[in-house]
Amino acid sequence: MGVVKIIFMVLHVLLALALIAAVVLQSGKSAGLSGSIAGGAETLFGGKKKGLDELLSKVTIIVAILFAATALLLVLWE
């Protein structure tokens, strides 16, 4: 196994851990009537900020694309 392939394998594992962390850190979407009531209360009383959720969403997309690219690269590697 070449050194470059080992580097890509380590990068792939790090991206997998980063993807797991980004997904776990995101807040869940509330569903049902209780979610709409809680959402209305958050809006009325100035609840949580959406900035962190938007940042985590973008980070998740970027890390997922990089993860998929390294997975394809490792599969196609001979």
Span between the terminal Cα atoms of the chain, in Å: 10
Q: Note whether 77 and 5 are within 8 A (CB).
A: yes
**CA 67/CA 19 separation, integer angstroms:** 8
Residue 28's domain comprises 3-76
More confident of the two residues 50 and 45: 50
Single pTM value for the model: 0.71
Mean pLDDT of 37-47: 54
* Tally of structural domains, the chain: 1
Q: Note whether 73 and 4 are within 8 A (CB).
A: no
Taking 80 as the threshold, does the pLDDT of residue 53 lie above it? yes
The confidence score (pLDDT) of residue 44 equals 53
Q: Note whether 22 and 58 are within 8 A (CB).
A: no
Taking 70 as the threshold, does the pLDDT of residue 2 lie above it? yes
